Amino acid sequence: MTEVTMNVNGRKVTRSVRGNELLVEFLREQLRLTGTHVGCDTSQCGACCVHVNGELVKACTMFAAEADGAEVATIEGQANADGSLNVIQQAFQDYHGLQCGFCTPGMVMSAASLLKDNPKPTEEEIRHHLQGNICRCTGYHNIVRAIMAASGQETPAVAAE
Amino acid sequence: MPKDHGIGASSKRREDVRFLTGTGNYTDDINVYGQAYVAFVRSDVAHGRIKSVDTAEAAAMPGVLRVFTGSDFEGVGSIPCGWQVTDRHGEPMKEPAHPVLAHGKVRHVGDPIAAVVAETLQEARDAAEAVMADIEELPAVVDMKAAVASSDTLVHDDIGTNLCYDWGFVEDNREAVDKAISEAAHVTTLELVNNRLVANPMEPRVAVGSYEAAGDMSTLYTTSQNPHVIRLLMGAFVLGIPEHKLRVVAPDVGGGFGTKIFHYAEEAFCTFAARALKRPVKWTSTRSEAFMSDAHGRDHVTKIELALDKDHNFTALRTETYANMGAYLSTFAPSVPTWLHGTLMAGNYKTPLIYVNVKAVFTNTVPVDAYRGAGRPEATFQLERVVDKAARELGVDPIELRRKNFITEFPYATPVAVEYDTGDYNATMDKLIEIADLANFETRRKESEGRGKLRGLGINSYIEACGIAPSNLVGQLGARAGLYESATVRVNATGSISVMTGSHSHGQGHETAFPQVVAEMLGIPEDMVEIVHGDTANTPMGMGTYGSRSLAVGGSAMVRATEKIINKAKKIAAHLLEASEADIELKDGAFSVAGTDKSVAWGDVTLAAYVPHNYPLEDIEPGLEETAFYDPSNFTYPSGAYCCEVEVDPDTGKVDVVAFAAADDFGNVVNPMIVEGQVHGGVAQGIGQALLENCAYDETGQLLSASYMDYAMPRADNVPMVTVDHSCQTPCTHNPLGVKGCGEAGAIGSPPAVINAVIDALQSGGHTHVTHIDMPATPNRVWAAMQG
């Protein structure tokens, strides 16, 4: 076992981890941050996307020990300080960008990473960026629109087409 | 002006807040104090005789509590099948046993042989590696036609054949159909494959069994679309636990698409092991395990023949289908290629004579069962492909050929045993032509050609039978279950409402849409209504969510229960207002006496029901809670017309879907936003089937596509924006909401549109010899087809 310390959603945590313990296991099992999901075992689905030191990371691709000393952000830390949904989260609700909700935390984390680097992405850029996040419910239509809306770009209202 | 609340409003989904903040409660998020973990040892061969399973080394490893094998389940029931099909000779289908853990033989890659329960998941997995199964590998049955042609290799030795049933429908029509086809002016024939798919909800299956010895109470937390069905199947047929000693809980469910309907061995195992060990036992499927243990979908091989007279009227239709059952009969597997498929072969057309033959076949593959659409996509794909091919052969416009044969008068009794209540297929086709801007297609084609691409246009109609289903009818057809739905409307003292339902959302937004219905009926705000679902302990017996049934059947139960509430509340209001009950009106959340200004608020009536001081106790009971069970009198028949435009790269065969439009008739719509989202998702799955997805086995029964590295899920850059319209509305005539269901339409209607478009593109490029390409139309297949 190795002791690691990291800052998760602004809170310093120190825990013992197994050498082969994945970051996603650490978040879900040790910290009980169960918003980060596991949808595959080949790092394809993106349900476990988090931010490590500001970079988008699939938390199944990294050992917890590798995140020692890191700043980690998960879906649980994304809402505004008053608890209300942040701009991206609110856009996902407004534009019906989620159905079963299982891929959603990864989608929101992935979208946040995109908009940090590219504040006004085109539809094509959004779709390209989301290649690593699989959604089985929405057909991506409303996810793309939600991200367009979150970036302040015009997109038709839901159910008004 | 769109409505902002109640029926017809795009109310924002209340469940989204927890899903967007990481506070959803999916089954894998549940840990029961003291739980152990199970790792299954699964067969890595498709077919083999189990000579021995040596568990000694594994049992001695750190943390291992017990290693279970098939012999531990003697006296435990077989995983049951919920539907018995009778074949064309009047014989019941072959129904082999399906043990919880394999016994005697393994029959598919992934068949569980042993299960190791340990203190931690890592210990369970490590010890599972040490279980030594000595298996004599046998030849595998993979190809369906070969499986039926010879009995040399049998998946189930005791039934003496690999043929589950040979079903004919309508058997009495067979000779007349043969005659009509032999005498037809034109016959179009098509042989095609409906590719095997894996549903792949993003949440893998999970089961947590627990047992409280003092009360002899078992609880199963599971990823299920229908917890009551699991309780009944597992309790009554497998483990022998009566319902009052078994609770099944399905919390937030991360997608299902049918694959979470069925009762699975892992559920029974965890419940059984928790009782044996007096410890909670948890199993979380990996994605690789999901590919080899979740029921698969589709996998039909079909020959279809369409006969036309000289005026292009359809005169007869004959199909022969081989339907893969896999190694065991999954819960509803036998119904999919029969009653959910044969009954849809009329489609939108007035073909007078239809005969459907289906041979269901056991193979050494994962069991196949319902996947989004379930039988109806298979029917639609055959029919809409053969109609398109006929149009090409006859040199007529595919839309006009469809219009010529559309059913236009309702109700319409098809020759395949169902009666369509309403529909307007010309209206949805007209709407499609408008929203897809077909008038300018040739301009777009020239623009594509200018870039070196072949552009194709694919059109089709579809109809589906939803709102599953009238219990007495499906009982006659072999269902071993009723298919009603239930609702309890519990009005609380202060007027808020809890609605308990047997339906269960796995992404459809029930917590938002159902309150829209109840609130509209009572004239109160939607946020005064809460939906309770997913737990057998606090919901009435109901059959769950699949077959586009939740609103049409479950919503109707809510309407009936709410009507009972209104009737009783009016009695209470009449007493409070000292008026006749017949004069009481309910409007905007208040009861008033007709023609007067006397009224009493909803909350005053509900309070009186629970604090009955001034109350007609001699006439009515206190309290305000009503339950209704709703059993539909017919299926519902959503229908529509879909259009796909593709661009094909003639150098590589790569197909891009560049436009897609869907004009649906769902009858009345409660939440347009949710309905449109359902269509978007269904269309993406249909495009996935048509172009990307394929569950592949090699000739030895090895599963070649057991991860997302090999199974091509549609990703954001594989699918276009989808233009949707549901303004053509012919309300269902037999349920109180006039709704038809929308969950499966997209997946049913879209595959033929895509393939029709690919064929059109290739034909436009001079590849006139290409009349069909099997799904998925991968670059390799399309390029090979172009080469002739």
**Final residue of a domain: which of B568, B597, B630?**
B630
A93 and A132, same domain (yes or no): yes
Strand, coil or helix: A47: coil
From chain B, pick out residues whose CB is under 8 angstroms from the CB of A42.
Answer: 287-288, 707-709
User: Do the strands B112-118 and B64-69 form a parallel or antiparallel pair, or are they unpaired?
Assistant: antiparallel
B733 and B779, same domain (yes or no): yes
Q: Is B670's pLDDT higher than 70?
A: yes
Position A158 scores a pLDDT of 57
User: Do the strands B36-42 and B281-284 form a parallel or antiparallel pair, or are they unpaired?
Assistant: parallel
A62 and A113, same domain (yes or no): no
Instruction: Tell me which residue in B28, B255, B723 faces A100 most closely, judged by beta carbons.
Output: B255
- CA B299, CA A136: separation in Å to the nearest integer? 20
Please tell me the distance in Å from A57's CA to the nearest CA on chain B: 17
Please state the rounded mean pLDDT for residues B308-331: 98
Interface check for A87 against chain B (CB to CB < 8 A): the answer is no
Please state the rounded mean pLDDT for residues B133-153: 97
Position B788 scores a pLDDT of 85
Identify whether B706 is part of a domain: yes
Please state the rounded mean pLDDT for residues A33-44: 97
- CA B717, CA B241: separation in Å to the nearest integer? 48
What is B676-697 written as a DSSP string? HHHHHHHHHHHHIIIII----B
Q: Which residues 71-130 on chain B approach chain A with CB closer than 8 angstroms?
A: 122
Judge: A44–B10 Cβ closer than 8 Å, yes or no: no
Please state the rounded mean pLDDT for residues B77-95: 97
Identify whether A156 is part of a domain: no
Position B421 scores a pLDDT of 98
- CA B218, CA B227: separation in Å to the nearest integer? 14
Identify whether B318 is part of a domain: yes
Q: Provide the number of structural domains found in chain B.
A: 3
Are A7 and A71 within 8 A, CB to CB?
A: yes
Please tell me the distance in Å from A15's CA to the nearest CA on chain B: 18
CA-nearest residue to B290 within chain A is A40
Position A51 scores a pLDDT of 98
Q: What's B505's domain CATH number?
A: 3.30.365.10
Interface check for B654 against chain A (CB to CB < 8 A): the answer is no
From chain A, pick out residues whose CB is under 8 angstroms from the CB of B534.
Answer: none
What is the spatial order of strands in the sheet that B722-725 belongs to?
B454-463, B639-648, B655-665, B722-725
B705 and B671, same domain (yes or no): yes
A61 and A117, same domain (yes or no): no
A19 and A62, same domain (yes or no): yes
Identify whether A138 is part of a domain: yes
Q: What percent of chain B has pLDDT over 90?
A: 99
Q: What's A55's domain CATH number?
A: 3.10.20.30
pLDDT tens string B367-404: 999 999 999 999 999 999 999 999 999 999 999 999 99
Identify whether A155 is part of a domain: no
Identify whether B174 is part of a domain: no
pLDDT tens string A80-109: 999 999 999 999 999 999 999 999 999 999
B626 and B714, same domain (yes or no): no
Q: What percent of chain B has pLDDT over 70?
A: 100
Segments forming the whole domain that contains residue B332:
296-469+634-787
Please tell me the distance in Å from A5's CA to the nearest CA on chain B: 22
Interface check for B674 against chain A (CB to CB < 8 A): the answer is yes
Instruction: Tell me which residue in B19, B672, B721 faces A159 most closely, judged by beta carbons.
Output: B672
B394 and B510, same domain (yes or no): no
Interface check for A138 against chain B (CB to CB < 8 A): the answer is yes
Q: What is the mean pLDDT of chain B?
A: 97
B705 and B761, same domain (yes or no): yes
Judge: A35–B714 Cβ closer than 8 Å, yes or no: no
Identify whether A82 is part of a domain: no
Quick one: tokens of B28? 């894998």
Q: Give CA torsion, residues B751, B752, B758, B760, to 10 deg.
A: -160
Q: Is A159's pLDDT higher than 60?
A: no
Quick one: tokens of B459? 């059109």
Bridge partner residues of A12 (DSSP) = A7
B219 and B272, same domain (yes or no): yes
B734 and B758, same domain (yes or no): yes
Confidence band, pLDDT 50/70/90 cuts, at residue B414:
very high
CA-nearest residue to B687 within chain A is A139
- CA B399, CA B402: separation in Å to the nearest integer? 5
Judge: A141–B680 Cβ closer than 8 Å, yes or no: yes
Position B1 scores a pLDDT of 65
Are B350 and B406 within 8 A, CB to CB?
A: yes
pLDDT tens string B580-618: 999 999 999 999 999 999 999 999 999 999 999 999 999
Interface check for A4 against chain B (CB to CB < 8 A): the answer is no
Instruction: Tell me which residue in A45, A101, A123 faces B252 most closely, judged by beta carbons.
Output: A101
Judge: B716–A127 Cβ closer than 8 Å, yes or no: yes
Please tell me the distance in Å from B572's CA to the nearest CA on chain A: 40
Identify whether B18 is part of a domain: no
Number of helical (H) and strand (E) elements in chain A, helices listed first: 5, 5
Q: Is B54's pLDDT higher than 90?
A: yes
Identify whether B624 is part of a domain: yes
Position B636 scores a pLDDT of 98
From chain B, pick out residues whose CB is under 8 angstroms from the CB of A81.
Answer: none
Q: What's A117's domain CATH number?
A: 1.10.150.120
Position A160 scores a pLDDT of 42
pLDDT tens string B154-177: 999 999 999 999 999 999 999 999
B687 and B622, same domain (yes or no): no
Please tell me the distance in Å from A69's CA to the nearest CA on chain B: 23
B625 and B642, same domain (yes or no): no
CA-nearest residue to A143 within chain B is B716
B307 and B451, same domain (yes or no): yes
CA-nearest residue to A37 within chain B is B203
**Final residue of a domain: which of B284, B314, B348?**
B284
A7 and A71, same domain (yes or no): yes
What is B142-189 written as a DSSP string? --HHHHHH--SS-SSGGGS-SEEEEEEETGGGHHHHHHHHHT-SEEEE
Interface check for A74 against chain B (CB to CB < 8 A): the answer is yes
**Final residue of a domain: which of A35, A54, A77?**
A77
A101 and A119, same domain (yes or no): yes
Confidence band, pLDDT 50/70/90 cuts, at residue A155:
confident
Identify whether B266 is part of a domain: yes
A95 and A134, same domain (yes or no): yes
Identify whether A158 is part of a domain: no
Identify whether A161 is part of a domain: no
A68 and A120, same domain (yes or no): no
A73 and A96, same domain (yes or no): no
Interface check for B749 against chain A (CB to CB < 8 A): the answer is no
- CA A99, CA B322: separation in Å to the nearest integer? 34
CA-nearest residue to B11 within chain A is A94
Strand, coil or helix: A25: helix
**Final residue of a domain: which of B262, B284, B306?**
B284
Interface check for B733 against chain A (CB to CB < 8 A): the answer is no
Q: Provide the number of structural domains found in chain A.
A: 2
From chain B, pick out residues whose CB is under 8 angstroms from the CB of A108.
Answer: 20
Position A32 scores a pLDDT of 98
Q: What's B59's domain CATH number?
A: 3.90.1170.50
Position A39 scores a pLDDT of 98
Please tell me the distance in Å from B289's CA to the nearest CA on chain A: 10
Position A154 scores a pLDDT of 84
From chain B, pick out residues whose CB is under 8 angstroms from the CB of A143.
Answer: 716
- CA B315, CA B179: separation in Å to the nearest integer? 11
**Final residue of a domain: which of A77, A101, A126?**
A77
User: Do the strands B48-54 and B132-137 form a parallel or antiparallel pair, or are they unpaired?
Assistant: antiparallel
B464 and B526, same domain (yes or no): no
A49 and A67, same domain (yes or no): yes
A96 and A42, same domain (yes or no): no
Interface check for B22 against chain A (CB to CB < 8 A): the answer is yes
Identify whether B158 is part of a domain: no
Please tell me the distance in Å from B283's CA to the nearest CA on chain A: 14
pLDDT tens string B706-745: 999 999 999 999 999 999 999 999 999 999 999 999 999 9
Question: ipTM score here?
Answer: 0.97
Segments forming the whole domain that contains residue A106:
87-150
A92 and A63, same domain (yes or no): no
Judge: A140–B719 Cβ closer than 8 Å, yes or no: yes
Identify whether B162 is part of a domain: no
**Final residue of a domain: which of A77, A102, A131?**
A77
Q: Which residues 12-71 on chain A approach chain B with CB closer than 8 angstroms?
A: 18, 28, 33-42, 44-45, 47
Instruction: Tell me which residue in B22, B713, B724 faces A134 most closely, judged by beta carbons.
Output: B713
Interface check for B716 against chain A (CB to CB < 8 A): the answer is yes
Position A161 scores a pLDDT of 42
What is the spatial order of strands in the sheet that B217-222 belongs to?
B64-69, B112-118, B36-42, B281-284, B206-212, B217-222, B246-249
